[in-house]
Chain A
Amino acid sequence: MSEEALRGLVSSRSMSRGFPRLGRFIFAECVAGAYLLVFAPVAMIVLISFFAQEIVSFPANGLTLHWYANAWARPEFSRGLLTSVQVAMATTAIGVPLGVAAAIPLVRSRFPAKAGINVLLLAPLALPGVVTGAGIYMMYVAAENVLDTDIKGTMVGLVAAHTMLTIPWTVRLVVASLQGLDEAIEEAAANLGAGPFTVFRRITLPMMRPGIVAAAMFSFIQSFENLDLTLLLVGPGRITLPVAMLNYLEFRMDPTLAAVATAQIVLVGALMLVTDRFVKLSRIV
């Protein structure tokens, strides 16, 4: 972002008073620098994916879309993408209802040990992914020995672990949207003769919608891009896209990988923009 644009963005009230020209210039450079550091690698990946040469070097010898076809032709990436999308969809479909169900009593009713349960429901977000993943890995192996069936590296095993991981997001987002909800509206509906189920379906649920939509997006993306927790839980033939990318990158970084990464960037960006049309992300976040 240019310095002009930055200056334009900063509220004139806050900046014009007292800040000398040089100070404002340095400030704008610092802000631009921070965002450059964050965006440079993302922009770089997108750029590289169009380079004609097979080994990353500068400048480009021409531009091509060949690497996208090449990436899709590699089974680890096409199957990885498919696996990740399936896992993320199943995780969202199971995790969001579970999280919504848990959020309602957290806001609406009193019960013992409420604070403790709140901590428990938010815990997966606070604990390191590799540690949690290692624990689940050992438990899956132990359960496999007892039950004599595969769990590690199966769809069920992956979806169960990811669902656990996304519960805090859903709980938090839905609790936030429920707290802003005026209970008097529900009472009015009940007074006018609506049964509890009708009240829920016609009043509570629609009013929770922004929270639920945002929760679905965060759950999907969280599951789709998760690496730390997933690392130990993948198995032969069922490797998620981030793990496939990591395995590939340990040997080389090339435009094919950049094409895969760009596809993930576009997917995440598109999901955020679509979600933002339904609920203003800036108001939720």
Chain B
Amino acid sequence: MAILLVPACILILGLLVGPLCLMFRISLNELGPTQLMVEALSADNYVRAATDPYYQQIVLTTLGVALLCTAITLVIAFPAAYWLGRVENRWKSVVLIATLFPLLVGNVVRSAGWMALLDRDGLINWGLARLGLIAHPLQLMYTPKAVVFGIIAVVLPYMIITVSSVIESIPLQLEEAAANLGASPIVVFRRVVLPLALPGVAAGCTLVFVLCMNTYATAVLLGGPRFKMMAPAVYDQFIRSNNWPMGAALAFILLLFTMAFTVLGSLGFARRYGKVPRGPSERLAPA
């Protein structure tokens, strides 16, 4: 029966593992004087990515944006996740579908929506002007703030779904018992709900952080051409600069970050809680 696995495995070996190996090999090549790739075995591209201020800036921006977005997302998502985890059954499917729907609509569409909101003549500037709060339109588009908000809106549903799945598994009686014994809602949250929800929080943060690091559409459309994150930088190296070795090296660095954070995230709470809770993407399909 195991032979049934062969086609799917060949496809993934051929179109994922193979290309990534090729990419690693190409990242060790060099760019010749005529802008053509020259076979080599050097770590020059990695050294450049680590030392050249231009690339350093890209990596730091990406990490900074990802960290900030993850922190804000967690704070915004927690009440919604609690609500979704405790919502009555007949509403559950409606709310879940509503949470899932924006995820499936696609990042380009949602970034376009933010452009209509944040533009000089967009809804926010119009609204603020109508209320008399501003005399001139604010420059909201093509700012790091716009990117941060855009990314948060994109990743929020992932965090909500991941955290709510853990909250669902916390027996309500625990909260009621704490409340009966005199704990205020804030104490119940801090001493009962939050500690028990931590595995979900950790899983959600890991997933969201990785998604933020890999943002493409939101960064390009809301950040403008001067705002550089890693995924757009990889694309630029291939299409605009035609520098495959550097592009491959940047892509590999992004891949390593992604894998490192995923592994760290799961190891971190595996050690603490004995087992790895169902991850966020796994949450999209129960094991």
A interface residue numbers (CB < 8 A to B): 6, 9-11, 13-15, 17-20, 23, 27, 30-31, 33-35, 37-45, 48, 55-59, 98-99, 101-102, 104-106, 108-109, 111, 117, 120-121, 123-132, 134-139, 142, 160-161, 163-164, 167, 169, 171-173, 175-176, 179, 221, 225, 227-228, 231-232, 242, 245-246, 249-250, 253, 257-258, 261, 264-265, 268-269, 272, 276, 280-285
| B16-A14 in contact (CB<8A) | no
Identify which of residues 178-226 in chain B touch chain A, using a CB-to-CB cut-off of 8 Å: 179, 183-185, 188, 210, 213-214, 216-217, 220-221
Closest to A161 in B: B15
Q: How many B residues touch the partner, as a band?
A: 35 or more
A77 vs chain B, min Cβ distance (A): 13
For B257, give the chain A residue with the smallest CB separation.
A128
* Contact present for B109 and A264 (CB under 8 Å): yes
Given the interface pairs A34-B160, A38-B153, A58-B123, the reply to whether A253 lies near B112 with Cβ below 8 Å is yes
B-chain residues with CB within 8 Å of residue A125 when the two chains form the complex: 281
The distance from the CB of B169 to the nearest CB of chain A, in whole angstroms, is 14
Known: A19-B185, A37-B76, A101-B5. A249 touches B238 (CB 8 A): no
| Nearest-neighbor residue (CB-CB) of A36 within chain B | B153
- Does B77 contact A109, Cβ atoms closer than 8 Å? no
Q: Which 8 A-B pairs have the closest CB atoms?
A: A41-B113, A135-B19, A282-B93, A225-B106, A30-B79, A102-B8, A58-B126, A34-B80
| With known contacts A17-B176, A272-B104, A34–B156 Cβ distance under 8 A | yes
Chain A neighbourhood of B113, CB < 8 A: 40-45, 261
Q: Are B112 and A123 in contact (CB under 8 A)?
A: no
* Contacting pair A281 B4 (CB below 8 A): no
Q: Is B101's CB within 8 Å of the partner chain A?
A: yes
B102→A250 contact, CB < 8 A = no
1/0 per residue, CB under 8 A from A, across B107-119: the answer is: 1111111111101
CA distance A41 to B103 in the complex (A): 12
How long is the Cα–Cα vector from A130 to B97 in the complex, in angstroms?
Answer: 28
Q: Can you sample 30 A-B contacts with CB below 8 Å? A: A18-B179, A31-B80, A34-B76, A34-B77, A35-B80, A37-B152, A38-B99, A38-B102, A43-B113, A45-B113, A48-B116, A109-B1, A117-B9, A124-B12, A127-B20, A128-B258, A129-B216, A130-B214, A131-B255, A135-B16, A136-B19, A138-B19, A139-B22, A161-B15, A225-B106, A250-B221, A264-B106, A265-B109, A272-B100, A282-B96
Q: In the complex, are the beta carbons of B11 and A98 less than 8 A apart?
A: yes
Contact A282 B231 (CB under 8 A): no
Nearest Cβ distance between residue B168 and chain A, in whole angstroms? Answer: 12
Known: A164-B15, A173-B285. A228 touches B109 (CB 8 A): no
Which chain A positions have C-beta within 8 A of B152? 37
| Cβ-defined contact, A128 with B254, below 8 A | yes
A10-B86, A38-B153 known; A176-B105 Cβ under 8 A: no
A11 with B8: CB separation less than 8 A: no
Cβ-defined partner of A9 (8 Å) among B20, B91, B117, B127: B91
Could you say which of B17, B83, B91 contacts A31, with CB atoms under 8 Å apart?
Answer: B83
Q: Which residue of B lies closest to A46 (CB)?
A: B113
- Say yes or no: is B251 at the interface (Cβ < 8 Å to chain A): yes
Residue of A nearest to B96 (CB): A282
